[in-house]
Structure 1
């Protein structure tokens, strides 16, 4: 294992922050895995502990057939953001910016740089595009904030990877994946290994999140150069490792083994690995996800367990105003699986309380919430 510590810009005098990348194995075939970009989402960090241990074992056994880069703490800024003993790792305290939104969009700069260079050789095109990505990122203007510097650095680490896994979690959630529709055939096995109960697909969810910033340039370049052979050479997924409290050691070890089994299928690890079990779900469009909100303030009581299969009209939760006794029940507007719930039990304006993954599109435009 090699350890690389990259300093982050805009630290206050007398303090420093760094992004640590742990690199296992060698070769041009590269996987990149990061955890806790939303720094208060700790299950991915716990899984990274198990991945680090197992990757070190596999490397010592000579079983790594490519390079695996692991970032156990993808957000040192948010990791230190505590307010009255409560961790706040989703938004930057200084700017209010969501750490997983508005990553650099590379396609326009790449298109200008690659004019007249791409042809019918897909392998040669991939090498050219990855080289151009590194150059574009290296030539970005100096970061104007610590968050911008972190995002540039993370994207630079991942831009030339064949596989990118971004480990997150929701507030209370089943295990689920977010991915591009084009990636789903290759990700079916990962979802099955992990026991995912929902997979949400979108080509552009509207927030320029990390996973889409890695994968979208390949789609955009293919559209810009239709006569060139340009595959989607970066297979990406955001993996939501259940809820924020799901940090049990055995579960983390099992999730790490599931990820390693998928890496073995993708040619990164030698040896015998268990086949993927039968999948627990099929993919649905992200546009088919219902975000359910309360009609007024009050105390929330959930009426369905996580993972419940609901039908349109089924009750999801009840909201009761403790002073007026106004009572409302919010219902499912689609058939699907209840895949996430808010951890807070007091309804507030604009705060979603439940999410249902349905097969029929019911939303458009920006699909991500902040």
Structure 2
């Protein structure tokens, strides 16, 4: 194992923050795994620690057939953001920006570098593109903030990987994952290993999240160079490992073992591993229904995350104890109730439940901040 600690730019006077990258194995193929980019989403960090231990064992046994880079703490900035004892790891305090939005878009500057250089050899094109991605990132002006510097560092490690896993969680949720529709056949096995309830598929969900900054560039390059052989060489996903409270040891161990079994199927780990147990349904991300309260009040949920719901099924009640107004909010689409809010007081503009349905309901930017 090789540990690299990288200083983030633009630290406050008298302080320093580090990004720690753990590198296991060697070889041409590479997987990159990071956890808790939203720093208050800790199930991924707990799973990453189990992965760190197991990867050390596998490396010592000579079982690694490629490189696996692990970043257990992908957001040292947000990890220290507490407000009166409450962790605030989704948005950067100084700018108000979401840590998982606005990653640098690589396809256009990479295309400029590679005009006239791509041909019919897909492997050679992959090597050229990856080097161009690194060159583009290295040539950028100095980062103007710690957040920008952090995002560039993460992307520079992930853009040369064959497989990228970004480990997140939702508020109170069943396991679910986000991916390009073109890559879902390859992700079905990981979904089975982890017990994912639903896959949410979109080519571009808006906001330039980390996983799409890694995978979508290849799809765009395919379309910019239709005569060249360009594979979708970066298989990237965001995996939501349940809810924020799901940090139990048994869960983390199971998630780590499922990820390792998938990496073995990808040719990165040797040995005998259990086969995936079935697979969930995948639906268009456009089919996600976000449900809101019609007025303020105390919220009582009537269904649990992970349940299948039909149109008209009651999901939660909103109770105003001053006026005695009680409203029941029902499902507007059939699908998996994959996430519910942790807070139990309804506020305007904040979603309280999410359903993954098969019928498109939304257009444009699909990610909620």
Q: Which TM class, normalised by the smaller chain length?
A: over 0.9
Within 5 Å, give how 1:208-219 maps onto structure 2.
Answer: 208-219=208-219
Name the residue aligned to 2:352. Answer: 353
| Worse-matched range after superposition: 298-307 or 159-168 | 298-307
Name the residue aligned to 1:110. Answer: 110
Flag structure 1 segments of 5+ consecutive residues without an equivalent: none
Name the residue aligned to 1:365. Answer: 364
- 2:8 is the counterpart of 1:8: yes
1:211-249 CA deviation, whole Å, 9 max, x = no partner? 000011101110000000011000011000000000001
Structure 1 position 330, deviation (Å): 1.0
- 2:45 is the counterpart of 1:78: no
Within 5 Å, give how 1:286-325 maps onto structure 2.
Answer: 286-325=285-324
**In the aligned structure 2, how far is the partner of 1:142 from the partner of 1:251?**
40
Within 5 Å, give how 1:7-86 maps onto structure 2.
Answer: 7-86=7-86
**In the aligned structure 2, how far is the partner of 1:349 from the partner of 1:148?**
31
1:48-88 CA deviation, whole Å, 9 max, x = no partner? 01000000000000000000000000000000001111100
1:139-167 CA deviation, whole Å, 9 max, x = no partner? 11111111111001100010100000000
Structure 1 position 327, deviation (Å): 1.3
Name the residue aligned to 1:344. Answer: 343
1:151-189 CA deviation, whole Å, 9 max, x = no partner? 011000101000000000000000111111011000000
1:2-44 CA deviation, whole Å, 9 max, x = no partner? 0011110111111000100000000120000000000000000
**TM-score, normalised with respect to structure 2:** 0.99
Within 5 Å, give how 1:96-245 maps onto structure 2.
Answer: 96-245=96-245
Secondary structure of the residue aligned to 2:165 is strand
Secondary structure of the residue aligned to 1:295 is coil
Structure 1's consecutive aligned runs of 4 or more residues displaced over 3 angstroms after TM superposition are none
**In the aligned structure 1, how far is the partner of 2:363 from the partner of 2:70?**
34
**In the aligned structure 1, how far is the partner of 2:347 from the partner of 2:356?**
22
Secondary structure of the residue aligned to 1:290 is strand
**In the aligned structure 1, how far is the partner of 2:278 from the partner of 2:163?**
23
- 2:270 is the counterpart of 1:276: no
**In the aligned structure 2, how far is the partner of 1:143 from the partner of 1:329?**
48
- 2:277 is the counterpart of 1:257: no
Instruction: Name the count of aligned residue pairs.
Output: 369
RMSD: 0.6
